[in-house]
Structure 1
Amino acid sequence: MKFTIEIDCTADEARHFFGLPDVKPMQDAAMAKLSQQMTDAVASLTPEAMLRAWLPLSPWSPAQMQEAMSNMFKVPSAPKKQEGR
């Protein structure tokens, strides 16, 4: 014998029926704190701050920096074969 029972209720009504705690205030507080942290993090993401994070302060001159950046994008050539091998 098989019985199927269908109950039409909201999640809040089901939690209340089963005696589960209402976690909505805790979720709201956690989301507010997370939202504030994300807003603060986005505000600190200026181009200058990102450049400092990616390129630490170094004694390089602008010419050396330009050469390092161009070397990063060069395609390596195939190694030359040595004669006699």
Structure 2
Amino acid sequence: MKITVDIDCTPEEARTFLGLPDVRPMQDALMAQIQERMTSSLHAMEPEVMLKTWLPAGVQGMEQLQKMFWAQFANAGRGGKKE
């Protein structure tokens, strides 16, 4: 035996019928706080600020890494012999 019941109601009506709380005011307040925080921290999204945050050593660290790679390549090109 198979019984199918179709109920046509709005989400608010279903929530009221099932006795669930209305969380819309809480969601609205949280969304307002999130929006305020995002707009206040937009200056941190500028590329220059992001690079300074992510790469504190900046270009110097990249230059050192590049020199290390070139030294390894040069050493491998000489057959691993150091001069």
TM-score range, shorter chain: 0.5 to 0.7
Q: CA deviation at 1:57?
A: 5.8
C-alpha distance in 1, partners of 2:62/2:45? 27
Query: Equivalences for 1:56-71 in 2 at 5 Å?
Result: 56=56, 65=60, 68=63, 71=66
Over the residues paired in the alignment, what is the CA RMSD in angstroms? 3.5
2:12 counterpart of 1:12: yes
Which residue matches 1:2?
2
Structure 1: 5+ residue stretches without partners: none
Q: CA deviation at 1:29?
A: 0.6
Identity percentage of aligned residues = 42
C-alpha distance in 2, partners of 1:37/1:67? 33
Q: Kindly provide the amino acid, as one letter, of the partner of residue 29 in structure 1.
A: A
Structure holding more helix per residue: 2
Calculate the TM-score normalised by the size of structure 2. 0.64
Question: Against the structure 1 CA distance between its residues 66 and 2, is the aligned structure 2 distance closer, same or farther, given a 3 Å change threshold?
Answer: closer
Structure 2: 5+ residue stretches without partners: none
Equivalent residues, number: 76
Residues 15 and 21, structure 2, Cα contact 8 Å, conserved in 1: yes
Which residue matches 1:40?
40
Q: CA deviation at 1:8?
A: 1.0
